[in-house]
Amino acid sequence: MGSNTSRTIAGVLIFLGIFILPWWLSILLILISFFIFELFYEGLFFGIVIDLLYFIPRESFYNLPIVFILLLLFFLLLRLLNKQLRMNNVF
């Protein structure tokens, strides 16, 4: 099975999971996909979907979409770590 096919299947399963699985499991699947697939932008899209479906603006969260922001931070951190590791390999 090609990388693109498995990426598409993972995307579809996570999308369905958002509606069926407990929220923490859906987020865990997205985090795992960030490790497995390179530049898994779909994960950020799924973060937006979770926030659009369930988010209720509240002052305690500064009206910000927490799931999307946390996934974004994780995505950026992983990118940074990836770059650092590659740099270390070069030198």
Contacting positions for another protein (CB under 8 A): 16, 19-24, 27, 44, 48-58, 60, 63-69, 72, 90
Residue 23, C-beta contacts closer than 8 angstroms, at least 6 positions apart: 50, 54, 67
Taking the complex as a whole, how short is the minimal distance between the CB of residue 4 and another protein, in angstroms? Answer: 20
Nearest CB to another protein, comparing residues 63 and 82:
63
Taking the complex as a whole, how short is the minimal distance between the CB of residue 1 and another protein, in angstroms? Answer: 25
Taking the complex as a whole, how short is the minimal distance between the CB of residue 87 and another protein, in angstroms? Answer: 12
Residue pointed to by tokens 């009206």: 63
Q: Are 50 and 18 in contact (CB under 8 A)?
A: yes
Nearest CB to another protein, comparing residues 2 and 83:
83
Q: Token pair of 14, please?
A: 């996570």
Q: Token pair of 80, please?
A: 């940074």
